[in-house]
Amino acid sequence: MDTHPPISPAAYFLTKSGSYIVDINEHGQRLDKKNGVYRSLSSPSGNGKDNDFEQETNETIFFNDAANPRNEDVMHASRKYSRSSKLETISSSDSEANEAEDVKPEQDPQADTKLKFSKLSKRSKYTFIMLAIANFGAGCGFSLPAPFYPREAEIKGASPTAIGLVFSSFQLVNFIAAPLFGNYLTQLGAKFVYTSGIMVAGTTAILFGFLDQGPSGTIFVVMSFLVRSIEALGVSAFSTASFAIISNEFPQHIASVFATLETCLGIGLMVGPTIGGALYEVGGFGLPFWVVGAIIVISGLAIFTCLPAPTDTTEKRQGTVFTLLKSPMVWVTMLCVMVGSCGFGFLDPTLSNHLDQFGLSTLAVGLFFVIVPFLHAILAPFWGFLSDRKDIQSPLLVGGSFLCAIGFLFMGPAPFLPFLPRELWTVTVGLVFYGVSIGCAIVPTMKCLVIGAREIGLSDNLNTFGLVAGLFNSIFCLGAFVGPTIGGALVDQIGFYYGSTIIAAFYFVSMVVSAIFFTLRRIRRKKIIAKGGTSDDNTTTSDEMPINEKSPLITADSTTKALDSSYSSASFSQMNAPGSTQNGKSSQLKQ
């Protein structure tokens, strides 16, 4: 009788031929058994291809174990090796064995990654709705003062520079605070950070409405800066916690849920100035802040009383934000995030003056500002669907950066494109291009950061998701701070035509760096698979999916955990059949 090498008791895989039994040893290597010989490989033919694997067969498998030397218990199973997940689907066809072992038909957790709201649990539905409302309120609160605050601030004696500082302080504080909240999220608790953050944001929004009743001059500017900064702390806290909750509550739909919340945020950014302007006309400076602040506070109270805390059994902290920086994918993704948000911010102080040459009304100029956030809000769920469903993060990032660059080249248009006239239609085309593609360049980044964290050995727990969320929020806000800053300076010095061309160059750099990185990464993975080994970082078999979601090439300490998680309803390690190894010993499997 052949002796098994050390394997995980949950790891059995069957190939097309029926004569191969592929196991996972304690080092996370796939082992092939044929004629009593075990060797590490990626496919039966050793060619690294998967097309020989997919076939459904019905066989009788004999399980044998040292604790049960009699080879008389049989389990009839229908086995299908799935190319999409690299894991087999097992369903018992023997009713007696099924009753004895309580084995249920197994479903591949990655078989359907499409987000379906109707199939979510009550907990997940409520979490989703609360996150959506909070993101909408955050968008409204951020853009609310844009139509009237500069005018009121000038009346109070504030200079344009001081007004710009008040607005930019929001992003600057977010950049500093987000990594701190992410780093200590597990100690403070995601629910506490989320609810306290949203309460602080709502309360300070209400306080901001009383600033016009205070003294003018320096005191007004300082108070505006302080209140706005504290509001930014609250927004940073609950937005960082919300990203962590997304990753923890919807691990198979990270990009889709993130994109949907981006839509809610985008809608808030769009309607915020309209709501602010309308309420300002009705009740003056304070009413917009009081109404929106009250809505945010009420939603915060609802979340505090009803939102369940995410379940996470991992208590040990595995690292800090600096740990994430060990992953090359994290660095590349950070570049994409920063360039994307920088492009967003560039348009805020520059587009209005650029449109003045066409003699547009104030209403028309306002409509041009709506183009990008409107298209982003509409299309973000689509990009999230592609990222989760099709697993094409790298093409999305590269293609999105390229299209964003094209959009900025049209907006000017670029001086080196003489065939593009300096007319309103070119600006419109550029804004449409940018609005369509910015989601393509931003939405997949959240999932890429999670994959990068897995590459360096961080587990899928709240601590990791908090670190990822804090880093994402920080880098995005850094770009949103740098964009308006360099945008105003570039337009003042060289004009909008050259300034927009430089922003396009940023996107081209992001595209080239991403393309080179993902190409080299794919080549490296193919070489590793062709040699039949495992990668030194024990990460993925493709550019997109993490190893514990798509391939049996997983690390030793996560082998049983990942497979038990995948086979939650019929884990092999919980079977009472003679072939199971309840005591953790190696089993023997005989054909």
Predicted confidence at residue 568, as pLDDT, reads 31
Q: How many CB atoms lie within 10 A of CB 361?
A: 8
Distances, alpha carbon 132 to alpha carbons 136, 184, 293, in Å:
6, 24, 16
Stronger pLDDT, 329 or 570, i.e. the higher one: 329
Distances, alpha carbon 201 to alpha carbons 133, 291, 345, 443, in Å:
14, 13, 22, 25
Q: How far is C-alpha 128 from the chain's CA centre?
A: 15
Predicted confidence at residue 467, as pLDDT, reads 81
CATH of domain 120-311: 1.20.1250.20
Distance CA 448, CA 554 (A): 18
Yes or no: say if 259 and 267 are a contact pair by the CB < 8 Å rule.
Answer: no
Task: Convert the pLDDT of each residue in 541-564 to its tens digit.
Answer: 334 333 333 332 223 333 333 323
Average pLDDT over residues 15-44: 39
Q: Is the pLDDT of residue 204 over 50?
A: yes
Q: Is the pLDDT of residue 16 over 50?
A: no
At residue 419 the predicted structure's pLDDT band, cuts being 50, 70 and 90, is confident
Extents of the domains making up the chain: 7-100+558-590, 120-311, 317-544
Matching fold, domains 120-311 and 317-544: yes
Predicted confidence at residue 226, as pLDDT, reads 92
Predicted confidence at residue 513, as pLDDT, reads 93
Predicted confidence at residue 206, as pLDDT, reads 92
At residue 470 the predicted structure's pLDDT band, cuts being 50, 70 and 90, is confident
Average pLDDT over residues 201-229: 90
The overall average pLDDT reported for the chain is 69
At residue 255 the predicted structure's pLDDT band, cuts being 50, 70 and 90, is low
At residue 357 the predicted structure's pLDDT band, cuts being 50, 70 and 90, is confident
Assigned fold of 317-544: Growth Hormone; Chain: A; (1.20.1250)
- Least confident among 103-107, 173-177, 268-272, 496-500: 103-107
Q: What is the DSSP letter of 4?
A: P
Distance CA 18, CA 80 (A): 11
Average pLDDT over residues 243-262: 72
Predicted confidence at residue 390, as pLDDT, reads 64
What is this structure's pTM?
0.60
Q: Is the pLDDT of residue 583 over 90?
A: no
